[in-house]
Amino acid sequence: MDKKDVKSMTLPQLEAELVEMGLPKFRAGQVYRQLFGKLKTDFHHMSDISVSLANQLSERYYITAPQIASKLVSKIDGTEKYLLALDDGNIIETVLMRYEHGNTVCVSTQVGCRMGCAFCASTKNGFVRGLEPSEILAQIETITREHSDEEGFRVSNIVLMGIGEPLDNYDNVIKFLHLVNDKMGLGIGYRHISLSTCGVVPGIKRLAREELPITLSISLHAPNDAIRDTMMPINHKYKIDELLSACREYQKICGRRISFEYALIDGVNDTPTHALELAKRLKGIMCHVNLIPVNTIREKNFKKSTKNSVNLFTKTLNDSKINATVRRKLGSDIDAACGQLRNDHMKNKV
Ligand code: SF4
Candidate list 120, 198, 254, 338, residue with the active-site label: 338
Domain ranges of the chain: 4-62, 67-349
Pick the residue whose CA is nearest to atom 3 on ligand 1: 165
* Distance (Å, whole) CA 192 – CA 179: 14
Decide: helix, strand or coil at residue 264.
Answer: strand
Please say if 100 is a catalytic residue.
no
Fold exhibited by the domain 4-62: DNA polymerase; domain 1 (1.10.150)
**Averaged pLDDT in 10-residue chunks for the chain of 350 residues:** 93 96 95 95 94 96 97 93 96 94 95 92 86 98 96 96 97 98 95 98 98 97 97 97 98 96 94 98 97 74 89 98 89 66 60
**With b meaning 16 or more CB within 10 Å and e meaning fewer, what string describes 114-126?**
ebbbbbbbbbebe
Note the residue count of the chain: 350
Domain 4-62 matches domain 67-349 at the CATH topology level: no
Please say if 338 is a catalytic residue.
yes
Q: How far apart are the first and last CA of the chain?
A: 34
pLDDT, residue 105, reads 97
Q: Which of 225, 109, 87 is nearest to 176 (CA)?
A: 109
Q: 161 C-alpha to center of ligand 1: Å?
A: 8
pLDDT, residue 335, reads 62
pLDDT, residue 350, reads 42
Mutating to test ligand 1, I would choose from 92, 106, 122, 129 the residue with most ligand atoms within 8 A of its C-beta, which is: 122
Fold exhibited by the domain 67-349: TIM Barrel (3.20.20)
pTM here is: 0.94
Kindly give the number of the ligand 1 atom that is closest to the alpha carbon of 164: 7
Candidate list 93, 132, 135, 141, residue with the active-site label: 93
